[in-house]
Structure 1
């Protein structure tokens, strides 16, 4: 009997240790913060963010501000359950399942994989998204004009036409425009097509330069030398991560790079006219407030950034020997 009791106690202790390890692993994979128990009658919002990143963090902070401006204050009449997947796709699925089971009044999803994860889990709970370039292409809505389901929100599509026109303003004598992008990224293909259309409308002779892997970048950049007066690069993941490989070829050749977003300027981009992710988050928060007040996502078109911000890199301009027009400097942030 004593032997049996000892075995039983050992088994129970092992089970407790395994359970403890399982909980520890879950905490490592994703982070979760919330404002505690919901005050009586408060609305509940579950949040899933793909990864910690300046733009995505700003989107979330703006979202909270937008809700507050609409009368929803976290800890008062609102409870926010924030979850970060830490860039792990398996975590997005786990968090999405958790949020579905929690059944909040609304889910806020930041970035395409996060949005897809929760949309795959529920067609009933309202979902508001942001930092998704094209929700229709991502399979999240029937159309961007009429979502038709439980998903709506904001797109972070950059103002491509304005970016192309910025080239004309900075380089009025430029005639030949290269559009460089990754041929396997749907997001980049969409923006490249827009850039080609806008470039031709602006009077440029437009040529494409595509890459498919990191090893292609320097050779493709070199192939553009002598054939273009400027290069446009959209918000392309591969090229954004390897901007130095482009700029170390183009800058000595005095070819400016107009890029899709501010972060790409840190590694050689000359200028961009892009969106403000904090403001985009506020815009998304305002949409969420409308849903919490009774509107249906199906009837709310995807919204875009209402204003764009002009950024210039004076250091790169000096290296290129370009004098930025006063009209550009006056607008630049």
Structure 2
């Protein structure tokens, strides 16, 4: 589904006659912001689930809801996108990811904001605590408290028992990655006793150099921490992992199309649940009274074809735990 289809739907809603609008009641306004690749494409597969969640609570775009969308690539387009959404005078804003959430929170202290796909909203300063957000913003995190990166590394070590050096692919422009570099990754090194060299990429072109660096450092495998860049460039990332013969673990479900392993929250479920948050806010509940929730569904996916190509034997203990095994 293309972004222009959503825009067309919103435009059609605005063109409805006053009599019909009166009959249906006042439409509520929702602004949606995602920081993406700037290509103008539609919401991704997970973000689309937000609208399933809204429909489950009776909110239909074009009937009792008007939705305005903005997809931005920082730094140049994000401020304009935020300004557009604020000017839209929404009843509620939905932010997909930490950059979108931070930008909207900086822009308004009054309009309710629901974020989705933020790993550590407390660490980023978006909320005071998970139980008491404390302002006009709340939402759903992508991880549960604890050593999440460590769990992903343990999955890789089950697939590659000899791995003693596992590269970590990060985007230094991602605030969540900066937090992980400062806190969780050093803790994981201490707890697991494994070397975790850092390789960085902020652009698609830099991905090639990052994987070359991992290979030059003799990494046995690689973990993609998960970012807009690597999400958009998933085919390139998967191809580079194959080129350098690096067993990899990814965060997002769509990497399973060629990627060795995926472990992360069911992001579609998070966006679907966000529809319930929007519903509560539109019915008068304040974000400060809605505790931030954590994921309850995680997905472990193993691609057996890729494992075979890499010469890996997947242990039965891992296969039993997998939510999906791709043959």
**Contact 1:179–1:195 (8 Å) recurs in 2:** no
**Contact 1:129–1:153 (8 Å) recurs in 2:** yes
Give the alignment partner of residue 184 of structure 1, picking from 149, 172, 187: 172
**Contact 2:168–2:197 (8 Å) recurs in 1:** yes
RMSD across aligned C-alpha pairs, in angstroms? 3.6
Corresponding residue number in structure 2 for 1:8: none
**Contact 2:171–2:201 (8 Å) recurs in 1:** yes
State the 1:164 CA deviation: 2.5
Larger Rg: 1
Aligned pairs (5 A) from 1:30-179: 31=7, 33-34=9-10, 35-36=13-14, 39-51=24-36, 56-76=43-63, 78-85=64-71, 87=73, 91-157=77-143, 159-171=148-160, 173-174=161-162, 176-179=164-167
User: Which structure 2 segments of 5+ residues have no match?
Assistant: none
Aligned pairs (5 A) from 1:1-333: 31=7, 33-34=9-10, 35-36=13-14, 39-51=24-36, 56-76=43-63, 78-85=64-71, 87=73, 91-157=77-143, 159-171=148-160, 173-174=161-162, 176-182=164-170, 184-185=172-173, 186-192=175-181, 193-195=183-185, 197-198=187-188, 200-201=190-191, 203-211=192-200, 214=206, 216-225=209-218, 229-236=220-227, 241=233, 243=237, 244-249=239-244, 251=245, 255-264=246-255, 266=257, 269-330=259-320, 331-333=322-324
Cα offsets for 1:258-313 (capped at 9, x unmatched): 2333445556x421212232211111111222222222212333323211111222
**Contact 2:61–2:67 (8 Å) recurs in 1:** no
Cα distance change on mapping 1:239 and 1:66 into 2, 3 Å: closer
User: Which structure 1 segments of 5+ residues have no match?
Assistant: 1-26
State the 1:236 CA deviation: 4.7
**Contact 1:272–1:312 (8 Å) recurs in 2:** yes
State the 1:94 CA deviation: 3.6
Q: 3-state SS of the aligned residue for 1:181? A: strand
Identify, as 1 or 2, the structure richer in helix: 1
State the 1:127 CA deviation: 1.1
Cα distance change on mapping 1:33 and 1:92 into 2, 3 Å: farther
**Contact 1:32–1:84 (8 Å) recurs in 2:** no
Aligned residues between the structures: 296
